[in-house]
């Protein structure tokens, strides 16, 4: 499938085969005007995924946690730059439109997490929720998998750090407040661009930038530690907003900030280039040229130590600009360590029933 114009509410323009497929398909001109064959929109299909374990583990030196939870595989937000897109190839689907329309929901995830935390051998360490796909994507409003996961973590008094670009995180403010009161929670809101014209096409179903800043304000007011991520920085497109983004985030109440340079692993290279040609043709060549200058001449650099920040003079300039802007706005002056010492393997039955509303 290769529509000639963007589909409403979707980020990708095509649905290329995954890199593990033995057959390859492609669009071709058969001489007929077949534009009417393409729908104006594609509905989201939810597929249940039964998991034995919900916690995933990593040993990457580039990220500050080694335990993560992703309630969903695929993401309806449709962010064209999402580095998780290539993971859909592992299940025989496309990193393109399939990634944002064919979503796997781990509906038994909260029960699986409960079993893991009750294991006597389990050692508590901070769990990051949403480092791969967003835990508050639109489907969460109805499925409430993330909310049920937070209930399990609260029951066990387990620390967690949430990453999202959705203002829907405010729905769970009651749970987050209770966790934060015990130093068990922090939230990071991702703000890629404050320009609606860019965000609308780059992150079609994510919350508008102003709503993300409002979420930071409300989290701060409720006593939930909140930071912001300027991620990803797209050179030649969003990097000019870096200082303004940090100023707006700090004014809203963020106390910490971080950034990630755009990554284009595997199939994401062609998907992002296709999106650039459609939405920002006058900037496409410059964006890719700048990115390659920070990736050793390639579209992507997968090496630990450089994959998040890039290399070269342009990457160093962005790092320096971030450092200065963060300092001017009072960000990253201290670091909060969440408390792992409150963890209980088997919560009291009475507390468990109260959280279930019984």
Cα angle: 303, vertex 278, 93; to 5 degrees: 55
pTM of the model: 0.91
The pLDDT, as a whole number, for residue 156 is 97
223: in domain? yes
List Cβ neighbours of 159 (8 Å cut-off, separation of 6 or more): 124, 126, 127, 153, 179, 183, 184, 185, 338, 339, 340, 343
Phi, psi of 125 (to 5 degrees): -140, 155
28: in domain? no
**For residue 75, what are the domain limits?**
44-260
CATH code of the domain containing 57: 3.20.20.70
98: in domain? yes
Q: How far apart are CA 197 and CA 195, in angstroms?
A: 5
The pLDDT, as a whole number, for residue 346 is 86
Q: How far apart are CA 348 and CA 330, in angstroms?
A: 41
How many Cβ atoms are within 10 Å of 279's Cβ, its own excluded? 19
The tens place of each residue's pLDDT in the chain, 358 residues long, gives 455 578 889 999 999 888 887 666 666 555 555 555 556 779 999 999 999 999 999 888 888 889 999 999 999 999 999 999 999 999 999 999 999 999 999 999 999 999 999 999 999 999 999 989 999 999 999 999 999 999 999 999 999 999 999 999 999 999 999 999 999 999 999 999 999 999 999 999 999 999 999 999 999 999 999 999 999 999 999 999 999 999 999 999 999 999 999 999 999 999 999 999 999 999 999 999 999 999 999 999 999 888 899 999 999 999 999 999 999 999 999 988 999 999 998 886 544 444 544 3
Nearest to 220 by CA among 200, 243, 249: 249
321: in domain? no
34: in domain? no
222: in domain? yes
How many Cβ atoms are within 10 Å of 267's Cβ, its own excluded? 20
Nearest to 77 by CA among 169, 10, 163: 10
Cα angle: 6, vertex 131, 223; to 5 degrees: 110
277: in domain? no
The pLDDT, as a whole number, for residue 358 is 38
The pLDDT, as a whole number, for residue 353 is 43
Partners of 233 in the β-ladder: 261
85: in domain? yes
**Strand-pair category, 67-69 with 127-129:** parallel
Q: What is the count of structural domains for the chain?
A: 1
Phi, psi of 174 (to 5 degrees): -65, -45
Q: How far apart are CA 307 and CA 60, in angstroms?
A: 11
The pLDDT, as a whole number, for residue 29 is 57
The pLDDT, as a whole number, for residue 1 is 47
Tokens matching residue 350: 């009475």
Tokens matching residue 299: 């579209």
Core vs surface per residue 189-204: b (16+ CB within 10 A) or e: bbbbbbeeebbebbbb
Q: In what order do the strands lie in the sheet with 102-105?
A: 45-48, 102-105, 72-73
């Amino acid at each position: 499938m290769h529509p000639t114009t963007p589909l409403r509410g979707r980020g990708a323009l095509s649905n290329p085969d995954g890199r593990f497929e033995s057959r390859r398909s492609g669009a071709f001109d058969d001489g007929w005007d077949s534009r009417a064959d393409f729908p104006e929109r594609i509905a989201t299909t939810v597929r249940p995924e039964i998991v034995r374990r919900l916690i995933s583990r990593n040993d990457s030196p580039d990220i500050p946690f080694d335990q993560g939870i992703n309630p969903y595989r695929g993401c309806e937000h449709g962010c064209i730059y999402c580095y998780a897109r290539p993971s859909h190839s592992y299940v025989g689907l496309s990193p393109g439109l399939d990634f944002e329309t064919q979503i796997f929901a781990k509906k038994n995830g909260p029960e699986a997490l409960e079993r893991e935390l009750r294991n006597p051998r389990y050692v508590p360490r901070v769990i990051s929720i949403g480092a791969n796909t967003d835990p508050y994507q639109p489907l969460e409003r109805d499925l409430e998998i993330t909310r049920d996961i937070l209930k399990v973590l609260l029951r066990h008094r387990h620390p967690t750090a949430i990453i999202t670009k959705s203002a829907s995180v405010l729905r769970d403010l009651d749970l987050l407040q209770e966790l934060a009161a015990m130093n068990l929670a922090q939230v990071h809101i991702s703000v890629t661009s404050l320009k609606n014209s860019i965000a609308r096409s780059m992150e079609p179903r994510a919350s508008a930038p102003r709503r993300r800043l409002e979420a930071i304000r409300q989290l701060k007011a409720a006593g939930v530690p909140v930071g912001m991520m300027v991620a990803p920085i797209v050179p030649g497109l969003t990097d000019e907003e870096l200082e303004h983004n940090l100023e707006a985030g700090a004014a809203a109440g963020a106390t910490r900030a971080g950034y990630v340079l755009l990554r284009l692993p595997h199939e994401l290279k062609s998907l992002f280039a296709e999106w650039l040609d459609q939405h920002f043709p006058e900037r496409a060549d410059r964006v890719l040229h700048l990115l390659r200058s920070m990736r050793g001449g390639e579209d992507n650099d997968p090496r630990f130590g450089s994959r998040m920040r890039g290399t070269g003079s342009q990457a160093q300039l962005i790092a320096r600009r971030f450092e200065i802007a963060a300092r001017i706005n009072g960000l990253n002056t201290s670091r909060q360590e969440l408390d792992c010492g409150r963890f209980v393997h088997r919560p009291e039955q009475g507390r468990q029933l109260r959280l279930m509303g019984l």
